[in-house]
């Protein structure tokens, strides 16, 4: 009964919690959300996976989805096809993903730890700031973490078929999902028992479908003539700064709400305590990677393999795919989730052999951490509900520039340094602007605006993706025709009277 009731209860609690934190003016709308929601709406209406964000050089105000894999957009499209509004559809997918993660984790840990530890583990995951943060906005991380949770279950239970399905979902949700395929292949090849041939076949079965799906998506993108952004493989220096950011992110997780030296001291103390507990557990002579699917060591080892694969993919991506990749709370949220699984399995097992004083100390530490995490979560959640997050916030919803575009910009294609603001708040397709200040490029941009009677909606807030607006306007020969507190409207050739 416990094996059925606990996962069901955990899933229901997580589902309701996710709906609550995305209520009001939620969910948050990140720039990436424009691609996810746009492609979902396009797919739901039978137009394929197209994003309402055109390239400035081309007349079409949409492009095919290529920056991200399609699974998250496809998932949002399903409720839309059933009649739900786009944001309601996204909320349902986010909540369903949270429920899947919680229920799956309950199944994984149910036989490995006692009931109090299991309940504590579920609460710790659900209040973790990075976990809450990615579930507040329309981002693909909730679905990705859910796919990792199911992959972990498949590894622990020794089911390569289930691992193949979940790893394929992972890689079609985020490119970093390649780590799921690598992790399952390593697990079934090196950590499972059996003859070499059997282990090789199980490893291939668990990872090959994800590899094929990934290859097909890359081949599809290679055939697309106009892409959202080009991806090139080259070396990007500066990994040290990125790793330091990652260290700060981990300290912020270990010491929620603490800042500066306090975060370093508290986070370092927590880390050393957990590391000591882990070393003590693995140093025991009777500790083996048992075949028993309820073995804490087996669970922690499987989570550690997935974690190592994920971090390896992140580091390689930062080095050779994108120098702008940050090791912030969003991108490290799957890693933090897996670390919490490792810690819960090890600590739960270790505490079972300890006396009452140890269990009391561990309980107090867990309660203190959860209180600190809730205190860190509350302001962000309340602000998201009451005012909105990112492009759902009132600053963007009530923007004079956005209002003018929505009211007066009809009949003019809109070019902008923040396309998501136009897409979400003016409810218009948008074009991007040149990413360089090359004289010939800007001159061509000016001619295109003049010929199409286009307008440049330039927001004062600087976008990291584009040069300063003044440089673009000067190079393109544009004239400021309207000015607002948060931006201005520029035109070429007297497009606006």
Over residues 143-152, the pLDDT tens digits come to 999 999 999 9
The helix (run of H) or strand (run of E) holding residue 489 is: strand 487-491
Mean pLDDT of the chain, nearest integer: 91
Average pLDDT of 306-334? Answer: 95
| Pair 150, 168: CB distance under 8 Å | no
Q: What's the Cα-to-Cα distance from 189 to each of 68, 179, 305, 409, rounded to whole Å?
A: 30, 15, 12, 60
* pLDDT digit string, tens, across residues 470-496: 999 999 999 999 999 999 999 997 555
Residues constituting the chain: 497
Q: Does 291 have pLDDT greater than 80?
A: no
Residues 6 or more apart in contact with residue 431 via CB below 8 angstroms: 53, 54, 55, 56, 61, 413, 414, 415, 416, 419, 454
DSSP 148-162: HHHHHHHHHHT-HHH
Per DSSP, 415 falls in state E
pLDDT value at residue 287: 45
In 3D space, the residue among 450, 385, 453 whose CA is nearest the CA of residue 413 turns out to be: 453
H/E stretch holding 123 reads helix 115-127
- Compute the distance between CA of residue 141 and CA of residue 310 in angstroms, rounded to an integer: 13
Is residue 64 within 8 A of residue 42, CB to CB? The reply is: no
Dist. CA 497–CA 492, nearest whole Å: 11
Can you tell me whether residue 408 is helix, strand or coil? helix
Q: Give mean pLDDT, residues 181-210.
A: 95
DSSP 138: S
- Measured between alpha carbons, how far is residue 437 from residues 175, 228, 414, 456, 468 in Å? 31, 19, 20, 16, 9
Q: pLDDT tens digit string along 254-286?
A: 889 877 766 666 656 655 555 555 555 555 544
Calculate what percentage of the chain has a pLDDT beyond 70.
Answer: 91
Tell me the residue ranges of DSSP E strands in 345-478: 414-416, 430-431, 455-459
Instruction: Kindly write down the DSSP assignment for every residue of 1-67, as one continuous string.
Output: -HHHHHHHHHHHHHHHHHHHHT-TT-SBB-HHHHHHHHHHHHHHTTS-SEESEE-TTSS-S-EE--S
| Mean pLDDT, residues 191-204 | 93
Give CA separation, 30 vs 35, 254, 321, 330, in Å. Answer: 10, 26, 21, 12
Could you give the CA distance from residue 232 to residue 312 in angstroms, rounded to a whole number? 19
Does position 36 have pLDDT exceeding 70, yes or no?
yes
For residue 417, what are the contacts with CB-CB under 8 A and spacing of at least 6? 433, 458, 459, 462, 463, 465, 466, 469
Burial (0-12, 13-18, 19+ Cβ within 10 Å), 77:
buried
Give the pLDDT band of residue 233 (cuts 50, 70, 90). Answer: confident
Q: Check pLDDT > 90 for residue 224.
A: no
In this structure, how many other beta carbons lie within 10 angstroms of the beta carbon of residue 159?
18
For the chain, how are helix, strand and coil distributed in percent, rounded to 5? 65, 5, 30
Distance CA 28, CA 94 (A): 12
The answer, yes or no, to whether residue 228 has pLDDT greater than 90, is no
pLDDT at 497 over 80: no
Residue of higher predicted confidence among 56 and 1: 56
DSSP state of 348: H
Structure tokens at 181: 């395929």
CA gap 66, 218 in Å, rounded: 9
Place of tokens 């007297």: 494
Of the candidates 9, 16, 25, the one whose C-alpha atom is nearest the C-alpha of residue 380 is: 25
Say whether pTM exceeds 0.85: yes
Are 366 and 127 within 8 A, CB to CB?
no
Q: Find all residues with CB under 8 Å of 199, minimum gap 6, and list them.
A: 188, 189, 190, 192
């Amino acid at each position: 009964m416990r094996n059925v009731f606990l996962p069901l209860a955990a899933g229901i609690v997580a589902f309701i919690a996710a709906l609550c934190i995305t209520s009001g003016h939620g969910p948050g709308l990140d720039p990436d959300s424009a691609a996810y929601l746009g492609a979902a709406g396009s797919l739901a209406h039978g137009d394929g996976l197209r994003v309402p964000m055109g390239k400035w050089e081309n007349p079409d105000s949409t492009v095919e989805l290529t920056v991200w894999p399609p699974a998250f957009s496809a998932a949002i499209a399903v409720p839309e096809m059933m009649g739900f509004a786009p944001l309601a559809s996204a909320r349902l997918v986010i909540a369903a993903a949270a429920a899947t993660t919680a229920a799956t984790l309950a199944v994984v840990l149910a036989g490995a730890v006692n009931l109090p530890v299991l309940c504590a583990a579920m609460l710790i995951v659900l209040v973790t700031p990075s976990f809450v943060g990615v579930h507040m906005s329309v981002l693909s991380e909730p679905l990705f973490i859910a796919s990792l949770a199911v992959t972990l279950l498949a590894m622990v239970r020794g089911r390569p078929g289930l691992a193949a399905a979940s790893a394929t979902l992972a890689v079609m949700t985020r490119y970093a999902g390649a780590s799921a395929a690598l992790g399952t292949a390593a697990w079934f090849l090196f950590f499972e028992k059996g003859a070499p041939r059997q282990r090789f076949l199980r490893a291939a079965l668990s990872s090959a479908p994800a590899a094929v799906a990934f290859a097909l998506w890359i081949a599809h993108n290679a055939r697309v003539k106009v892409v959202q952004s080009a991806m090139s493989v080259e070396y990007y220096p500066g990994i040290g700064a990125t790793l330091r950011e990652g260290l700060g992110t981990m300290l912020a997780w270990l010491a929620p709400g603490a800042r500066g030296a306090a975060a370093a001291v508290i986070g370092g103390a927590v880390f050393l305590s957990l590391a000591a507990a882990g070393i003590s557990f693995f140093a025991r002579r009777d500790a083996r990677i048992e075949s028993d699917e309820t073995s804490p060591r087996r669970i922690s080892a499987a989570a550690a393999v997935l974690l190592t694969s994920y971090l390896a993919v992140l580091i390689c991506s930062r080095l050779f795919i994108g120098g702008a990749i940050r090791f912030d709370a969003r991108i490290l949220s799957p890693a933090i989730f897996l670390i919490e699984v490792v810690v819960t399995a090890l600590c739960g097992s270790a505490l079972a052999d300890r006396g009452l004083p140890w269990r009391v100390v561990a309980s107090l530490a867990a309660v203190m951490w959860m209180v600190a995490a809730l205190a860190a979560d509350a302001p962000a959640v309340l602000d998201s509900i009451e005012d909105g997050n990112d492009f759902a916030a009132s600053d963007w919803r009530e923007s004079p520039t956005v209002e003018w575009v929505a009211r007066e910009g009809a009949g003019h294609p809109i070019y902008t340094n923040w396309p998501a603001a136009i897409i979400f708040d003016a409810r218009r397709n948008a074009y991007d602007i040149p990413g360089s200040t090359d004289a010939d490029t800007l001159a061509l941009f000016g001619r295109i605006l003049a010929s199409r009677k286009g307008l440049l909606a330039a927001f004062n807030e600087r976008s990291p993706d584009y040069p300063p607006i003044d440089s673009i306007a000067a190079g393109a020969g544009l004239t400021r025709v309207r000015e607002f507190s948060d931006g201005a409207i520029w035109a070429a050739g007297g497009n606006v009277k």
